[in-house]
Structure formats: structure tokens, C-alpha cells
Amino acid sequence: MTHGHGRLGRMVALAGALPLLLTGCLAPLPQPLVGLNQRLEAAGPARAPSLSGDWLALIVSRGGRDRVELVDLQRQQPVPLPGLERPDAQPLSVAVDGRGERLALVRQLEGRTELVLYRRNLMALQPVPLQPPGVPRRVSLRADGRELAVEVSRQGQWQVDLIAVP
Amino acid sequence: MLSGCGSWSWGRRSAGPVGWGGADRQDPALSGNGRVLASVVRRDGRDTVLLQEQPSGTVLPLRHLQRLQPHRSPSLSWNGRYLALLVQQGPERRVLIEDRASGRLHRLPLPGGLVPESLSLAADGRRIAIATEGDGRSRVQLYDLTALLEPDLPAGLPVRGAPAATP
């Protein structure tokens, strides 16, 4: 009798747990965007993505050089970034706003590490001075492009600066 | 073309103290509306994500992420409802998304052999980009999250696909 109750109890418990188990099994999974991923794969080794709105900024290695690419996800095509690239610059971190208009970039150039802001409509690159001076590393941009957050090394300590973009 | 400094003026401020002495603060990420800042600080010897309202610096609670350090590469949606990040679970580095509104934790499985290095969540929460290492190369892949997450949109923006309001 006790065994029967035990078995019944286990069956009731299992029946109760079944919806949970099924939910676990059937939980929706993120779906890879196959077409876009194939295009990204073909573009070469890539890292440091920044996704905002319909724009993806990332650093792509091609021909032994790292360069910043901005991909229009609607058209599934990279867009030109005239005035951004220099063959002697090494990009470290990039961030894009939700309109694909502003890019914040940390790069090494001529032995220095600098933070710059690129405006696509002006095709212009603007240095962003750090006060007090420091060495920037990773950068993040607000979706409306009006503020950036940057990791800065000063006197052996990593800090975060928030900088309003004019 | 590198423009001169011109007349642009850059307003700046420090993200403020982290509350654990002079700890390093790294990996910053702003929510889409700029009202929440995520960063990674060293706490008790472990890299731990810290979520703070801006500009007050008030620390926001997180529910699920204890004992999954080191944390890295946090990324926030528009209102900061979703926090995506990399955590260490035993020998595995995993992609997690905490839904701060519902308290749910979403685990994003990756194909075997790929180790996530960094990620970026779209502000509306509809997509995520994940940089991985594996098979001898680094790659960035995009995933659609619409089956997993409700959109996190600016206030007043209608949800795509929702019935139009009748006058």
C-alpha cells in the first residue's frame, strides 16, 4: 500500500512537472540570421561588434589589416566610410548609433591610442579629447548618438568617462 | 579627413564611484536612452557587472548573476530592461540575457566549439551580435531574438505588428 502510494505520488509529481519539462524543451531559441551571417563569414575574420538599429559596426581583418566596417542590415551590404580609414591605423573598438550616422572609434595611430568620432553625413573625423589625459580602450555609444561611454586607463587604473557628444 | 577641434565642446563627467574603493571599472555600456550604465568592476577578486542609473549612480539590482563570474561584455537594451552579457559557468563561457522586468533569465546556446568573446544587443532587443572564437578563426554572427524577447522601445513608440489604435 505504501509502495502504491509512493508510485502514485511519483506519477502525480511527474505529471505536474511535465508542462515545465515541455516548456523547457520547447522554449524558443534565438535564430541565426543565416544570409547575413554567410556574408559576414565571407568578409573575413571579424570581432568587436556593435549593433544598433539596422546597423552593425565591426572590425574585419582582410589582407593582414584590420579595418572598421559598417553594415546596413536592411540591405545586407557594407556602406562606404570615406575619411575614416587610414592604412597605418589599428582599430581597437568601435560603436555605432541607431541611425548609422555616428561612429565612435578607439584606434592606435603613430604610437598613440586615441578616441575619435566619425560623422557619416560630414565624412569627417573628430578627435575626442580625454580630460584628464588617459589611454582609451573600449567605447560604447548611446543609441541616439548623443553620449558615449569610454574605458580609460589613468595612472594604472581603469575608469569610465561619460562624454556628451555635441 | 581629420577635422580640427573646431567649436565643438565635449561635456564630460566621470561615471562616478563604484562603491568598492578604488576598483577598476571596465567594459562600459549605455542603455539606448542613456539612463542606465553597465560596467564591470572587480569585487571580491571577481569581475562583476554593475548596473547604475544615470546620472544619480544608484545601483540597480540584478537577480541571477551571482556565482557566474567573471562577467564580461555587458550590453543593454533601450530602457535597460534587458542586460546581455557573457558569464562563466564552470568551464563554459555562456551568453545570458537577464530580463529585469520579468526576472527571467535567457540562455543563448551557441554551436559547439564556438567560444563567445564579446556581444552587442540591439537597443530594441530584437537582435544580438556575438563575436566568437573557434575553428581557428574569429567571427561575428547575428541572431534574431524576436521569438524570445518582447521589444524594448522608446516610450510611445508602437510595437511593430500590434493592432493599430482606433480613433
CATH number at residue A68: 2.120.10.30
pLDDT at A123 over 70: yes
pLDDT at residue A59 in the model:
98
Q: How many domains does chain A have?
A: 1
**Cα A149-A152-A155 angle, rounded to 5 deg:** 155
**Domain annotation covers residue A17:** no
**Domain annotation covers residue A157:** yes
**Domain annotation covers residue A91:** yes
Proportion of chain A in helix, strand, coil states, percent, rounded to 5? 20, 45, 30
A161, B13: Cβ pair inside 8 Å? Answer: yes
**Local structure of A142: helix, strand or coil:** coil
**Domain annotation covers residue A63:** yes
**Domain annotation covers residue A14:** no
Q: Which of A60, A160, A161 has the most B C-beta neighbours within 10 Å, making it the best mutation to test the interface with B? A: A160
**Domain annotation covers residue A99:** yes
Residues 107-146 of B with CB under 8 A from A: 108-109, 117-124, 127-131, 137-145
pLDDT at A10 over 60: no
What band does A5 get if pLDDT is binned at 50, 70 and 90?
low
The pairing of beta strand A112-119 with beta strand A102-109: antiparallel
pLDDT at B18 over 60: no
User: Between the ranges A28-42, B32-46, B89-103, B116-130, where is the mean pLDDT highest?
Assistant: B116-130
Residue in B2, B34, B141 closest to A40 by CB: B141
Higher pLDDT, B6 or B28: B28
CB atoms within 10 A of CB A148: 26
ipTM for the predicted complex comes to 0.85
**Domain annotation covers residue A18:** no
Residues 86-145 of A with CB under 8 A from B: 98, 116, 123-129, 131, 137-144
Mean pLDDT of A139-154: 95
Q: Which of B140, B149, B152 has the most A C-beta neighbours within 10 Å, making it the best mutation to test the interface with A? A: B140
* pTM listed for this prediction: 0.85
pLDDT at residue B58 in the model:
92
pLDDT at residue A23 in the model:
42
**Domain annotation covers residue A59:** yes
Greatest distance between any 2 Cα atoms in chain B: 58
pLDDT digits (tens, 9 = 90+) for A27-59: 678 899 999 999 999 999 999 999 999 999 999
Mean pLDDT of A57-72: 95
A63: domain range?
34-164
User: Between the ranges A6-15, A81-90, A96-105, B147-156, where is the mean pLDDT highest?
Assistant: A96-105
